[in-house]
Amino acid sequence: FDPKRRGALYGARPQLLAQLDVEYEDGSRERIATDGSWRCSTGPILFSDLLMGESYDARLKMPGWDESGFDDSEWYGVDTEEIGDARLVAQPDEGVRITEELEAKTVTEPENGVYVFDLGLNMVGWVRLRVEGEPGTQVTLRHAEALNPDGTVYTTNLRSARATDHYVLEGNGEEVYEPRFTFHGFRYVEVTGYPGEPPLEAITGRVVTSATPPSGSFECSSQMVNELQKNIIWGQRGNFLSVPTDCPQRDERLGWTGDAQVFVRTASFNMDVAAFFEKWMVDVEDAQSPEGAFPDVAPLPGEGGLLDLRWGAPAWGDAGVIVPWTVYRTYGDTRIVGRHYDAMARWMEHLYEANPDLIRKNRMGKNYGDWLSPKGDHTPKHLLATAYWAYDARLMAGMAEAIGRHEDAREYRDLNENIKAAFEKAYVSPDGRIEGDTQTCYLLALHMDLLPEELRFAAAEHLVRTIEREDWHLSTGFVGVGYLCPVLTEAGRADVAYRLLFNETYPSWGYMIKNGATTIWERWDGWTQESGFQSPNMNSFNHYSLGSVGEWLYRYVAGIDQDPGGTGYERILVRPRPGGGLTSARARYDSIRGTISSEWEISDGAFRLKTTVPANTTATVYVPASDGAGVTEGGGPAGEAEGVEFLREEKGAAVFAVGSGEYEFVGSVL
């Protein structure tokens, strides 16, 4: 609790609810719960706050305070408060853990007595300090993501978050300190007050994250793309701490729903996030307004002037539908649907009540639009809102069917069709041009199936034109970016998708990497050579949203996907889409049914594809080849191989049905 921040984000008063289960030597047990008989005292932790940091005075340690027989006569009584009707439940997800340590790479002295340690990666957690000195010596640790040109730490983008830890020495030989009740997002640590010149080993990074088990890996022949994938995973780890936060460093660190829904598909490839998102969806429903609105952030801070964030904006509130759908499809588990179905239905009713003409212009919340588009957001916000509403209806129909609510499914299908008709009438021209004429306009319409079949090709051509208009660069913000490469690839323009992937000029993923990023930036222009740092009001260097391209790397570059009508990877698609000059790619995904792998290489005039299909599943395998009849498996004609059935040739690939097992296909290079 920071007294300088009125009404701390999650409560104005620190409180403790605890229970001790004691087992005595004779085997008897006693349960001791917090009540008015407990006592309290200050100790060496003088101040601790998630956003601000911690102050610790080692001279104030109380040896034996946590042992029986300790004299607490100088301690104080406590206030008690009823907890009301709150229901306590066990934490359903994996919890936050220290998962690794980072050794400092370098230490510099940009100013006299000011030492800056570089940990090499933009990490989340805290540091362990080793120090020896006189009693009362204070060492101060300030954390930052970047450096100023003079080598000092750049902290302006943290806004009011101090991200500073203070340690006062006890003066008893070497002392080791790490904070207990705070965390920081940082690559650099400024150390002042250190007795003498600190050695490199004085600082060690302690990396923390929700311990979601790794479930996927991806790599290819491009070092830049491999760095992108590493940055996506590192940013996911840094921002998945009990909730999917937007950023881990500034005075915010909230569970923004829009960020989560655009990234959930990528997240589910990298890590097993089933329990993580099941827990977070409880937070989302807890924050739902009585009127049915899902929030912009969850958990929703109850005090401090943020209550307007409960009225979910388009693409933000819709996370209450999209996240359960994605978890259901990924893991084949309908429980998350059943648990939150009524809440999702209330959200749908909330939108319909205010927009009976089926164009969503009302109940738009804070209406962020395609947030942080690089040249300003020109996508009509009511168009974006209506597209998401139609998409919600489509997903609701699928979820209603999955849990046996067949009449609801029919109604949601009808709603989807009616919104689509309203969307086409309001926004789509006969030549396939869409109002706003932005990349995101076309991406939403194509991805969310809002166009009649006869206009899809024309709309895709308009999409490519908008990219060419930007000198073959993207112009999407948070909302559009995740759909960009998949939509282009499905439209037969994987060449354009790869061109965007390999760009290294602004705005692009490659531009971030070229300029030293080790995580995904919040803004495409978080730092530029021409202008330096963007506005500190909103300039995180660890935001996962723009990393939603990771889904495309798994599904289209490596080729691991599932049948559009399937769940839980019971029916698998292995369909790599090589391009962009890549000569190889490989990925592994530990699905709920077992490990799926896809590894391809182009060499010596041949396309070689190795794939693993887990037990109790089937797969449709697409082998890029100029001659389908010439494709081999295991050294012989593929159509004659055991467990392999030739189906057809389709768009430059030979298509086969296979059962579980390991396969090695070879086709001629196109």
Q: Is 424 a catalytic residue?
A: no
Please indicate, yes or no, whether the overall pTM of this predicted structure exceeds 0.85: yes
Residue written as tokens 């090499």?
Answer: 120
Q: Which ranges in 28-179 belong to alpha helices (H)?
A: none
Question: For residue 423, what pLDDT band results from cuts at 50, 70 and 90?
Answer: very high
Average pLDDT over residues 29-47: 95
Which of left, alpha, beta for 487 (phi over 0: left; psi -120 to 50: alpha)? Answer: alpha
Nearest residue to 191 (alpha-carbon basis) of 77, 104, 251? 104
**Domain 216-556 listed as CATH 2.60.40.10:** no
What is the reported pLDDT for 7?
39
What is the reported pLDDT for 1?
33
CB 166 within 8 A of CB 138: yes
Nearest residue to 284 (alpha-carbon basis) of 211, 340, 212, 331? 340
Give DSSP secondary structure letters for 196-232: SPPPGGGEEEEEEEE-PPB-EEEEES-HHHHHHHHHH
- Is the pLDDT assigned to residue 5 strictly greater than 70? no
Say which CATH superfamily domain 559-668 falls into.
Maltose phosphorylase, domain 3 (2.60.420.10)
Q: What CA–CA distance (Å, rounded) separates 510 from 222?
A: 11
| β partners of residue 656 | 621, 646
What is the reported pLDDT for 3?
39
Question: For residue 669, what pLDDT band results from cuts at 50, 70 and 90?
Answer: confident
* Predicted confidence (pLDDT) per residue in 496-522, tens digit: 999 999 999 999 999 999 999 999 999
Question: For residue 13, what pLDDT band results from cuts at 50, 70 and 90?
Answer: confident
In CATH, the number for domain 1-211 is 2.60.120.260
Task: Cite the residue boundaries of each domain of the chain with CATH code 2.60.420.10.
Answer: 559-668
Q: Are strands 39-40 and 76-77 parallel, antiparallel or unpaired?
A: antiparallel
Catalytic residue chosen out of the listed positions 145, 175, 252, 278: 252
CB 43 within 8 A of CB 12: no
In Å, the largest CA–CA distance within the chain is: 88
Q: What CA–CA distance (Å, rounded) separates 324 from 403?
A: 13
C-alpha neighbours within 13 Å on the C-beta side of residue 592 = 18
- Is the pLDDT assigned to residue 307 strictly greater than 80? no
Question: For residue 4, what pLDDT band results from cuts at 50, 70 and 90?
Answer: very low
Q: Is 435 a catalytic residue?
A: no
Give DSSP secondary structure letters for 264-333: HHHHHHHB--HHHHHHHHHHHHHT--TTSPPPSBSSPPSSSS-GGGGSPPTTTTTHHHHHHHHHHHHH--
Q: What CA–CA distance (Å, rounded) separates 330 from 570?
A: 10
- Is the pLDDT assigned to residue 655 strictly greater than 80? yes
- Is the pLDDT assigned to residue 182 strictly greater than 90? yes
Specify burial of residue 44 (Cβ count, 10 A radius: 0-12, 13-18, 19+).
Answer: middle
Q: What CA–CA distance (Å, rounded) separates 101 from 94?
A: 19
Q: What CA–CA distance (Å, rounded) separates 450 from 419?
A: 9
- Non-local (6+) Cβ contacts of 133 within 8 A are 169, 171, 194, 195
What is the reported pLDDT for 543?
97
Catalytic residue chosen out of the listed positions 170, 522, 551, 633: 522
Amino acid at 627: D
How long, in residues, is the chain?
Answer: 670
Task: Cite the residue boundaries of each domain of the chain with CATH code 1.50.10.10.
Answer: 216-556
* Predicted confidence (pLDDT) per residue in 571-583, tens digit: 999 999 999 999 9
Amino acid at 621: V
Amino acid at 613: V
Mean model confidence pLDDT for the chain: 96
Average pLDDT over residues 624-633: 93
Q: What CA–CA distance (Å, rounded) separates 213 from 272?
A: 5
